[in-house]
């Protein structure tokens, strides 16, 4: 059984009849017009969500009044261009055995955003606690604890805004990323996803499984951008962790550092190419990026024995630390080449901490020897001193349209290498540039870097 949740499509016809009477209303030929789509509030226990397949149509705006859960054997199908507004504290949950088919386009992305009024997403409603923020819990997709060949569906050209709220229930309560992919197999299609203003938890959280993904953007996260743990072993290419000067904030619940890329657990082994971690404008930076006893900000942190293959990437712009290794087991993996970081460029505003090894974690070595090791000609890495050396177009123009694209002649436009396993695999597009962005602007049309100013479904 398939259930279609949409409004009768008579509005467009009515507008056509109105314009046919142009002698009365002075409608000009080809004059643009817009109309507000009907909005309906739906709840997870609504009988319309009990069908095996639920279809959300782009001719209607949906407001989720409570969590929408798909159980094993059920599907959630979402049309390109569909707008879904979500009430505070609510989640969209796809459980193991269920599937989501959210296939947007560059011209018509699928948008999940806060139901709060324009400009109020992520802002306090009343009171002083984190629970008073206008933020929802995110899109959570679960697979089997033993991922099989089955996929969890398609996520293609999707935006997720003002999610990352603290979870409810349990002890401790579940703190999931704004997009959680838990034990998902690589037969799931994931590409062109933007998560913006993840308020209290990571933007992207990949735990277990081997799900692959291309073209992921985390913008203005208050916590970590990409959090990989629990044995995740997938392949990722073209990842942009794009920080905002006034985030993170003190609202972060996630236990751990604020990182562009955070990898942990000794069973975790991702393969990543063309990552950019772009830190905040140093002239406007929030004090939350400074090191404290309980909180620290890193472009990349690897800890608890995790391993990784990272290539053709760019880390820049954090004020205190670039790449941080948190323990001896993780450092040993770098030393014996079971982890590797190659053909990449790194920069930190404090250049002495661009490569940082936790004191005493891997005696007799320290941050200086860690830096010298990674800058050997064998690894083809470079250390830049200034953000300006990367020659990015206009990355810190937060109040207009920030532009992180490299300028012509930028050093990031060359230098990539895809020789050897795992990067020789056909999954990886063999581009010439390092970092997330080259000359082809894959951010165009479908991303939005100013959701706080966006008035959805209004004239």
Residues 199-213 pLDDT 10s: 888 999 999 999 999
- pLDDT at residue number 248: 63
Lowest mean pLDDT among 24-38, 154-168, 327-341, 428-442: 24-38
Taking a C-beta distance cutoff of 8 angstroms, is the pair 315, 412 a contact?
no
The chain-wide mean pLDDT, for the chain, equals: 86
Query: Given this model, what pLDDT does residue 171 score?
Result: 45
- pLDDT one-digit tens code per residue, 10-62: 333 333 333 333 333 333 333 334 468 999 999 978 877 888 999 999 999 99
* Residue 305 Cα distances to 93, 135, 224, 302, 326, angstroms: 31, 34, 19, 8, 9
Q: What is the mean pLDDT of residues 333-351?
A: 94
Whether the pLDDT of residue 436 is over 70: the answer is: yes
For residues 308-328, average pLDDT: 92
Above pLDDT 90, what percent of the chain?
Answer: 66
Q: Would you place residue 175 in the very low, low, confident or very high pLDDT band (cuts 50, 70, 90)?
A: confident
Has residue 330 been placed in a domain?
Answer: yes
* Separation CA 188–CA 101 (nearest Å): 10
Query: Rounded to 5 degrees, what are φ and ψ at 56?
Result: -100, 120
Q: 83 lies in a domain?
A: yes
The answer to whether residue 64 scores a pLDDT higher than 80 is yes
Structure confidence at residue 413 (pLDDT): 98
CA separation for the pair 13, 18 (Å, rounded): 9
Q: Is residue 12 assigned to a domain?
A: no
- 183 inside domain: yes
Residue 426 contacts by C-beta under 8 Å, 6 or more apart in sequence?
A: none
- What's this model's pTM, rounded to 2 decimal places? 0.90
The answer to whether residue 76 is domain-embedded is yes
Whether 381 is in a domain gets the answer yes
* Per-residue confidence (pLDDT) for residue 168, from 0 to 100: 59
The β-bridge relationship of strands 382-383 and 340-342 is unpaired
Q: What is the CATH number of the domain that holds 108?
A: 2.160.20
Q: What is the mean pLDDT of residues 333-346?
A: 96
Number of structural domains, the chain?
1
**pLDDT at 29 (0 to 100):** 37
| Residue 195 lies in domain | 2-6+38-453
- Give the lowest-confidence range in 203-207, 292-296, 418-422: 292-296
25 in a structural domain? no
Q: What percent of the chain stands above pLDDT 70?
A: 83
What is residue 295's predicted lDDT score, i.e. its pLDDT? 55
């Amino acid at each position: 059984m398939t259930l279609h949740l949409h409004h009768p499509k008579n509005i467009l016809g009515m507008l056509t009849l109105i314009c046919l009477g142009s002698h009365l209303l002075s409608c000009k030929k080809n004059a643009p017009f817009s109309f507000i789509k009907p909005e309906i509030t739906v709840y997870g226990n609504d009988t319309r969500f009990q069908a095996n397949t639920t279809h959300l149509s782009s001719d209607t705006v949906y407001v989720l009044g409570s969590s929408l859960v798909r159980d094993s054997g059920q599907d959630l199908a979402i049309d390109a261009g569909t707008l879904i507004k979500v009430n505070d504290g609510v989640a969209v949950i796809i459980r193991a055995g269920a599937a989501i088919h959210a296939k947007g386009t560059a011209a018509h992305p699928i948008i999940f955003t806060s139901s709060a009024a324009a400009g109020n997403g992520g802002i306090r409603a009343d009171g002083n606690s984190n629970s008073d923020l206008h933020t929802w819990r995110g899109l959570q997709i679960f697979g089997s604890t033993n991922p099989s060949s089955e996929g969890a569906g398609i996520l293609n050209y999707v935006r997720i805004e003002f999610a990352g709220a603290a979870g409810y229930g349990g002890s401790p309560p579940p703190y999931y990323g704004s997009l959680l992919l838990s034990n998902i197999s690589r037969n799931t299609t994931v590409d062109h996803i933007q998560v913006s203003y993840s308020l209290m938890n990571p933007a992207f959280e990949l735990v277990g499984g081997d799900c692959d993904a291309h073209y992921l953007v985390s913008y203005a996260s208050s916590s970590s951008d990409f959090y990989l743990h629990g044995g995740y072993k997938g392949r990722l290419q073209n990842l942009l962790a794009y920080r905002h000067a006034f985030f993170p904030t003190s609202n972060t619940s996630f236990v751990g550092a604020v990182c562009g890329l955070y990898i942990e657990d000794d069973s975790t082994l991702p393969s990543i190419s063309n990552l950019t971690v772009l830190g905040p404008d140093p002239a406007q930076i929030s004090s939350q990026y400074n090191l404290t006893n309980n909180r620290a900000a890193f472009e990349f942190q690897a800890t608890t024995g995790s391993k990784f293959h990272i290539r053709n990437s760019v880390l820049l712009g954090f004020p205190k630390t670039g790449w941080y290794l948190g323990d001896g087991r993780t450092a040993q993996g770098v030393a014996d080449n079971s982890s590797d970081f190659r053909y990449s460029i790194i920069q930190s505003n404090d250049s002495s901490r661009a490569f940082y090894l936790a004191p005493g974690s891997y005696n007799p070595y320290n941050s200086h020897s860690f830096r010298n090791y990674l800058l050997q000609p064998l690894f083809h890495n470079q250390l830049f001193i200034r953000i300006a050396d990367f020659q990015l177009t206009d990355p810190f123009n937060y109040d207009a349209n920030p532009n992180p694209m490299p300028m012509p002649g930028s050093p990031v436009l060359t230098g990539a290498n895809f020789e050897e396993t795992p990067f020789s695999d056909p999954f990886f597009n063999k581009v010439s540039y390092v970092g997330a962005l080259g000359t082809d602007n894959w951010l165009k049309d479908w991303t939005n870097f100013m959701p706080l100013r966006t008035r959805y479904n209004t004239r």
